[in-house]
Amino acid sequence: MIDWHEVNQTDGTCDECGETIVAGECKRIDGERLCLDCAEARGTDAAELERWLQSVLECVDEDEVPELAECSVRTFTEAGLLTRDRGVVVTLADGSEFQLTIVRSN
């Protein structure tokens, strides 16, 4: 899970750009420790939206939307997709699979 508020209390380096990070000035995203610039470039909004989309789809009432009964919802990160996009992979009970990509338009 991504904890946006987790602040690492020791000095270190950014996993993306290699810059030195002083204590408290980093974010932990997808298990990586990033400097604030890289964290922002990673797209915080889309990442939060991705988690929200996942939780919403997992909680759909199966009586209302039987098509989504027993579906599995993974984020692109969890599914191991080689993309910088954000989104979720929805696998339905019949095995069909859909990718919902979050595209920021504004």
To the nearest whole angstrom, how small is the minimum distance from the Cβ of residue 81 to Zn ion? 22
- Is the CB of 35 or the CB of 88 nearer to Zn ion? 35
Say if strands 97-102 and 12-13 run parallel, antiparallel, or are unpaired.
unpaired
Length of the chain, please? Answer: 106
Compute the least distance from the CB of residue 10 to Zn ion, in Å: 16
Question: Left, alpha or beta for 14 (phi > 0: left; psi -120 to 50: alpha)?
Answer: beta
Is the CB of 25 or the CB of 77 nearer to Zn ion? 25
Judged by CB, which is closer to Zn ion: 19, or 85? Answer: 19
User: Residues in the site for Zn ion, rule: CB under 5 A?
Assistant: 14, 16-17, 19, 35, 38
The position carrying tokens 């987790």 is 6
68 CA to centre of own chain:
21
Phi first, then psi, for residue 49 (nearest 5°) are: -65, -35
Closer CB to Zn ion, residue 38 or residue 71?
Answer: 38
